[in-house]
Structure 1
Amino acid sequence: MKQRVLIRIEGTAINGPLYIQAAQHLGLHPITLSADPDQHDYIAAEGLEPVRVDTDNLEALIHVISQLREIYDIAGITSDREAFYATAAKLCRYFGLPGPNPAPIDRCCDKFTQRRLLEDAGIPIPDYRLAANAAEIESAAAEIGLPVVLKPVVGVGSTGVLLCRTVDELAKHTTYLLGGKHTWRSSPRVLVEEFAQGPYYNIETMGNEVIGIGTGDIESPPHFVFREGIFPAPLTDDEHALINDVSLSCLQALDLGWGPANIELRWTERGPVVIEVNPRLGAGPQLVQLAYGVDLVTEHIKLVVGEKCDLRRKHSHTAAWRNLNPDRDGILDWISGDIQAGAIPGIAEVKLYAKLKTPIVRKGNNRDCIGYVIASSPSAAQAEAILQRAVDLIRWSITPFPTP
């Protein structure tokens, strides 16, 4: 009998290990296809070896998967990386496996197209314009009014996203985006949008169901680097109901009703305003599992292999998290206290990304953090207190780069 396998297209350092472990727990052998296997250190740590293939080439992927199908029983194909989620969906259709419709995913990954679909459905979003050159960016910002947010039409993790509060900041970031420093996966297109101000909320969904609503704080605008948050967010019944309704309306407007999605919004003077809808699992499945006992990664894999998922809550706790964000660029000399922090009762995970004696170069996106800490407790106040106690134990030293 052939071994049942789960094919993953690329992956992320945050959710990737969770998908591998969940697949193995379900009796599936995970195989990752990657254009650069060396970037996936966590796969080697599990004793596995990725298969090298050009993951931007659909025909190449079909060829490799066809070869693997001669050896294995391919139970499902997916990806936890947004740029390849539509590719995985196309492969599912080609090989007759369960999966989402790739067309809505492609449309959703284009932030301008997403904006138009949400606007047509009457869903509150920031005022926005599409721009392809410096003159169009300047004109759009003048029409909307400063401050504005500039972001690539296609991208993830706040890469290339900046709050521009002055004409000089606008011009400088325009030069960065269009002057060759930003890496574009397609032709340069920039979204110029109103800065929606208010508390940030992060909604995790599966199918047509809202699983939970979290909240988070930004480290230091003009960059959108997250510092900390809690799950579930403290909301009144009316606030929860309104966010729930807006989230379900987003899924309907974008035709996303299969598998996971992640919705980001801010509660402004006019109520919830949708910032972005991501057609894949968000970065907080551990938070959902700690808070509600629902393992979104496992349940997603069940869908992928044609099984029924179980989204029933097992308990009601609070999970609190903190990113470890460096305050300077330079060389990481040492970091300590993570072992002691991890031993504190109520601490669910302490994760360090950065390696000693390696350069730290902040770019103003989610890759800036050098680690994170997650705490959990039946009490929200206790979860936050446990988290703070653990974070206070973690120290590091960064030697600044020599000044030219």
Structure 2
Amino acid sequence: MADSDVRLPHLLLIVGIGGPGPKLLAPGLAGLARLSWLFDSRDLTKPERDVPIMAEAGRAMAVSSEEGMIAAAAALHAECPVDGVLTFSENVLRSGAAVAEKLGLPFNSPAAARRLTDKYLQREALAAAGVPCPRFHPLRTADDVSAAAETVGFPAVLKPIRGGGSALTSRVDSPSELRAAWEAATAFLGALDGLDRTHRLLADTEYPYMMVEELLTGVERADDARYGDYVSVESLVSDGAVHHLAVGDKLPLSPGFRENGQVHPSVLPETAQARVTDMAAAALVALGVTEGVTHTELKLTAEGPRVIEVNGRACGGLWMTLLHSAGYDVIAEAARAALRVEPVRLPRFRGYAAMLTPCLDASLADRSTEVRLDPSFEERAGVHSVHGLHSGTFDLSLGGGHGLLAYVSAADAEGIFAHENALRDAMRMVM
């Protein structure tokens, strides 16, 4: 490590499933902090790429359990004191809380981390604080199905208490549908290997169980069918102070609650944005969130916004959409907040940006397909990158079937929708 690096604060980055990987994190944090990396080897999708990046940018420490993570962090802290702990991955929030508590550094408390990663505990806390959210009931055993149906009513949504990306999330319209969906989901969860990434995302609980909640009814957005009936609020919380970075508009969902993309900033009127940001802040307070980047989804109903859920992570691609719409580096700002380097800065939008994730038709599930893209799309001004062209089969029950991911920007929201139309025109399915 160069002598000049010694004067920089020491940041411990805990890497998990999801969020920006070392390839994005390392360059953005160079010159801001000395980096140490802590990760469970099972969480890396491409260890042959990520481990060398981490090792070159700092100290890379691989562990295989939360206990090992705490021990490694304590040893590091004793040798070279750590100034801040940060993660962008939801599946290691609990481990991060345990590590930070051991080191005596700012982070969400273990209790808050559990509420951010357990949908049932989260809704209990929201309801107790009077924050509007769906009716809900846990499903631990077959005996709970009848009680859940009576408490919540129909239509309803069945989902695992952990996880995201709409995996194992389904609409149910009757007690018989609920029971069938619960049996299928719990059979899937029960068959997972404890070392499998899917288990770590969906079933890393005391015992695999689900939750059923009211299906909220949204309202159309100013008769513009291009927008979905829900939004998200992206926030950066530091020392208990909530700083809202952006309200994001969502595109309409595809079957299976699959997302087709999001746009920053929102075109909602300021008064409507104030209502959703106020409710997001109330939800974060109710959950005891004091640190980190958060992603709060809210349904726009006739009675006003209602919290769908709060996630203790950035929304997918936020680091790119804020960069392209506001020149804002959310990775660096989150690190500065964790290190208490300087006051939190907010984005100043100069245009619009979107992460587009067009979903394949549900009828293609379990069928071998290949998505091809006409090269003309990537040549459009304002198209920054295209990733992950789909090839093979997808499982609708696991929220799959996104044809690709594209980051785009434009001077206004109309320009974003021009990109979306061009993208769909450029996609071809090969069966």
Q: TM-score, normalised by structure 1?
A: 0.86
Counterpart-to-counterpart distance in 2, 1:84 and 1:344: 38
- Residue equivalent to 1:288: 322
Equivalent AA in structure 1 for residue 115 of structure 2: R
Equivalent AA in structure 2 for residue 320 of structure 1: A
Displacement after TM superposition at 1:21 (Å): 3.2
Paired residue for 1:235, among 253, 259, 268? 268
Structure 1 residues 81 and 145: alpha-carbon distance in aligned structure 2, compared to 1, 3 A threshold: same
Counterpart-to-counterpart distance in 1, 2:304 and 2:144: 30
Task: Find the residue that maps to 1:130 and give its secondary structure.
Answer: strand
Structure 1 residues 219 and 246: alpha-carbon distance in aligned structure 2, compared to 1, 3 A threshold: closer
- Residue equivalent to 1:321: 355
Q: TM-score, normalised by structure 2?
A: 0.81
1:10–1:33 Cα contact (<8 Å) kept: yes
Displacement after TM superposition at 1:94 (Å): 1.8
Displacement after TM superposition at 1:324 (Å): 3.6
- Residue equivalent to 2:387: 351
Task: Kindly report the root-mean-square deviation, in angstroms, between the aligned alpha carbons of the 2 structures.
Answer: 2.8
Displacement after TM superposition at 1:45 (Å): 9.0
1:294–1:311 Cα contact (<8 Å) kept: no
Residue-by-residue CA offset, 1:248-292 (whole Å, 9 max, x unaligned):
111221121322111111011211111101122222422233333
2:386–2:406 Cα contact (<8 Å) kept: yes
Equivalent AA in structure 2 for residue 33 of structure 1: F
Counterpart-to-counterpart distance in 1, 2:266 and 2:427: 26
Residue-by-residue CA offset, 1:137-192 (whole Å, 9 max, x unaligned):
23321343211111122222222211112444322211112234464212133221
- Residue equivalent to 1:185: 204
1:218–1:224 Cα contact (<8 Å) kept: no
Displacement after TM superposition at 1:219 (Å): 3.7
Equivalent AA in structure 2 for residue 291 of structure 1: S
Counterpart-to-counterpart distance in 1, 2:118 and 2:333: 27
Task: Find the residue that maps to 2:377 and give its secondary structure.
Answer: helix
Counterparts in 2 of 1:135-154, with a 5 A limit? 135-154=143-162
Equivalent AA in structure 1 for residue 292 of structure 2: G
2:136–2:151 Cα contact (<8 Å) kept: no
Paired residue for 2:342, among 308, 328, 341? 308
Relative to structure 2, which stretch is displaced further, 289-298 or 118-127? 289-298
Counterparts in 2 of 1:331-342, with a 5 A limit? 331-333=368-370, 335-337=372-374, 340-342=376-378
Counterparts in 2 of 1:381-400, with a 5 A limit? 381-397=414-430, 399=431
Displacement after TM superposition at 1:39 (Å): 1.8
Task: Find the residue that maps to 2:286 and give its secondary structure.
Answer: helix
Residue-by-residue CA offset, 1:120-141 (whole Å, 9 max, x unaligned):
2211111112222223123321
Paired residue for 2:111, among 96, 103, 112? 103
Residue-by-residue CA offset, 1:93-137 (whole Å, 9 max, x unaligned):
322434333321222322122112111221111111222222312
For the pair 1:83 / 2:91, whether they are aligned, the reply is yes
- Residue equivalent to 2:46: 40
Counterpart-to-counterpart distance in 2, 1:218 and 1:235: 15
Specify every segment of 5 or more residues in structure 2 that has no aligned partner in the other structure, as ranges: 191-198, 219-228
Equivalent AA in structure 2 for residue 121 of structure 1: A
Specify every segment of 5 or more residues in structure 1 that has no aligned partner in the other structure, as ranges: 400-404
1:159–1:365 Cα contact (<8 Å) kept: yes
Alignment coverage as a number of residue pairs: 391
For the pair 1:194 / 2:214, whether they are aligned, the reply is yes
- Amino-acid identity (%): 22
Counterpart-to-counterpart distance in 2, 1:192 and 1:387: 33
Relative to structure 2, which stretch is displaced further, 260-269 or 164-173? 164-173
Structure 1 residues 143 and 97: alpha-carbon distance in aligned structure 2, compared to 1, 3 A threshold: closer
- Residue equivalent to 2:234: 204
Counterpart-to-counterpart distance in 1, 2:158 and 2:290: 29
Relative to structure 2, which stretch is displaced further, 371-380 or 265-274? 371-380
Task: Find the residue that maps to 2:345 and give its secondary structure.
Answer: coil
